[in-house]
Amino acid sequence: MKRRYVYDAKHDKMVEVTDSRPLEDKPSHHIMRDIEPYQSMITGEKITSRSKHREHLKAHGCIEVGDQVGYMVKNRVRPEAPPGLHESIMRAAHKHGLIK
């Protein structure tokens, strides 16, 4: 049987931790069904399993993107405007009467 311990600094010793939750509330295994077969948008071949899906993406240098794409733009650097751009825009706006 697996046992779990934590360090009790007050008494300078290891203490066994018991999990008193009922059996049905304890974490257990989760079995996920396989993916439905689909046709690859890259090559047109049929992908029939999760493992083939991962291999296929890796072989073609692709990644799976869901609704969390923050990692794709996290380190994006904004390009600097060319020197004098602001002044050119202001001159053009004055010339055409857009601002006074």
CB 35 within 8 A of CB 53: yes
Question: Could you count the other beta carbons within 10 Å of the beta carbon of residue 51?
Answer: 11
* The pLDDT of residue 78: 75
This prediction's pTM: 0.41
Alpha helices by DSSP H, the chain: 50-59, 70-73, 85-95
Rounded Cα distance, 6 and 14, in Å: 6
99 versus 27: the higher-pLDDT residue is 99
- Residues 57-77: what's their mean pLDDT? 77
